[in-house]
Amino acid sequence: MTEAATSAQQEEGSGDLFGRGMVYVVVWSMQMIIATVVSPILAHTLPLEEFGALAAAIALYQLLIVVTVLGLDQALEMQRVNDRSATRSRGLLAAGIVFAFAVTTILALTSQWWGPALGFGDTTLPGLPIGGGLVFVTLLWTAPGASVLLVLSMLQAEDRLARFAIISILSTVGGLAFGLGLLFLVERSALGYAWGGVIAQFAALGLGLIWTRPRWTGDMVTVRRAVALGVPLALASLAQFVLAAGDRFAIQRMLGEAETARFQVAFTVGNVLTLLLTFTNRAWLPRLKRIVDVGERWRTIQQARDGIHLLLGWAILGVTLGSPVLLRIFAPASYRPDDLLVVVLVVGLCAVPVASSAASGQLLITVGRSIPLGVAAGVAVVVKVVLTVALLPPAGLVGAAVATLAALVAQAGYLVWSASRTRAAELPDPRVWVFLAVVIVVAWCSLLLPTDLPWLIGRFTAGLLLLIPFARAFLRLRNGQPPFGVRQSGTDSVDNSAG
């Protein structure tokens, strides 16, 4: 293949990722947008302890989704992209739905034992051996939620964007609408809002079953192959839960529900960037899999990685500058928002190692190597647990955020090494890292600025103005151009091992 042809294919591939691929990112991001919109409403409506309990219930839901999906969502995407016919994929979809409901039932029957260990006090339904209150509603939310995730994976792999968007929006925006309706009209409590998610997820699942038509007589060979790929991915997802949400349980037990609520607000503001990367990875995987040549696929991933790092730099600085205003919007004065600025910045910086991990993970998943993701997850969890135990008592919420950042850096380092054993990789463009270093220094210095009204207006305005360079960089990437122009490199990537 000529150098010109290779360059043209690379630009077309990365342009597609930042083009139609980004449409899927936006739809996946609806759940983040909903959380961002509803968080200040709930914080201002619910008592501090109730909001903290709801944050813990949402964290429990995220944990249960990992357990009930078991990585089959990504395995289903890869299966559907590989198959000309949807028969085996439809069978795998049915098996995943059955598994999700079966596991949820087992969790319900045992929740009276594990519920109190996670800090939930309402653990018994009258006359039934299953958990009550928030635990019960969270379980009712989990089974259809996991099944909807599988349905969305199937629709994305088939590139059925309209139906994908309808089901995704129904499960997210619908949950917001039903939840707020119940919150203000029926019961002003965390439990009342949570029931809205149950209604929305079951409605989305019903529509998804009509459009995907699961095949209830599945192929066990396909299921076993999917489980082999999916279990390490589930371990990786479990680690991501521990890194992103597991500390809610530790904070709730060690510092109380009020501190859990404060951390949830700071985390919601700072974690926006990491969530966007998570949805980007989900949206891009099937499109990357369609690039048949592995070398070309890796070059596309690396160019997209550098572009994501560039966008992250502008976004981290913008979020940090705007965080004093955002925190005041998201929570009342009782949350002491000025004390949370450092937490927001540290959580925001987590997006940098997540971007590196995502690039390496995309290559590994698309070539069928999921075990390194599970190993990297284990490394990250160990670092997270040790540092959380060590830092949370003396440093409080900042300690929890620092523990997460350190764990993500360790995870990224292992995955970069694992990916380099599959395909030799060029180092990221050094100009990207210089830019990120400058951004981090400026962001840290901005924490020293006053937070009275004139400064708040100035900081927020400066953060909004950063949307201009962010948009220019995105448009450049959308057109398939390198983030900083053409970089001279020695040789193309070559195989480094048999893989």
State pLDDT tens for residues 319-339: 999 999 988 887 788 888 889
| Average pLDDT of the segment spanning 426-454 | 86
pLDDT band at residue 4 under the 50/70/90 scheme: very low
pLDDT of 11 > 90? The answer is: no
State the distance between the two ends of the chain, measured CA to CA, in whole angstroms: 23
Cross-strand partners of 495:
423
Distance, CA of 345 to CA of 347 (rounded, Å): 5
Q: What is the pLDDT of residue 342?
A: 93
State yes or no: pLDDT of 6 exceeds 50: no
- At residue 277, the pLDDT reads 67
What confidence tier does 26 reach under pLDDT thresholds 50, 70, 90? low
**What's the confidence (pLDDT) of residue 16?**
53
Question: Does residue 457 surpass a pLDDT of 70?
Answer: yes
Cβ-in-10-Å burial (0-12, 13-18, 19+) of 202 comes to middle
Greater model confidence, 272 or 376 = 376
User: If you count them, how many residues does the chain have?
Assistant: 499
Q: How far is CA 63 from CA 19, 57, 146, 371, in A?
A: 32, 10, 11, 20
CB–CB of 364/395 below 8 Å? Answer: no
Question: Which pLDDT band, with edges at 50, 70 and 90, does 147 fall under?
Answer: very high
Q: Whose structure tokens read 């790929």? A: 229
pLDDT tens digit sequence for 86-132: 778 888 888 889 999 999 988 888 877 777 776 666 544 444 444 44
For the ranges 18-32, 197-211, 340-354, 485-499, the lowest mean pLDDT is seen at 485-499
Q: What is the mean pLDDT of residues 50-60?
A: 78
Q: What is the pLDDT of residue 161?
A: 83
Which DSSP string corresponds to 243-266?
HHTTHHHHHHHHT-HHHHHHHHHH
Global pTM value: 0.64
Q: List % helix, strand, coil for the chain (3-state, nearest 5).
A: 80, 0, 20
Cβ atoms of 330 and 268 closer than 8 Å: yes
> Quick check: 201 and 145 in contact, CB under 8 A?
yes
Per-residue confidence band for 192, with pLDDT thresholds at 50, 70 and 90: confident
Q: What residue type is 173 in one-letter code?
A: V
> What is the band of 425 on the pLDDT scale with cuts at 50, 70, 90?
low
DSSP 423: B
Instruction: Lowest mean pLDDT of 196-205, 253-262, 447-456, name the range.
Output: 253-262
Q: What is the mean pLDDT of residues 184-203?
A: 86
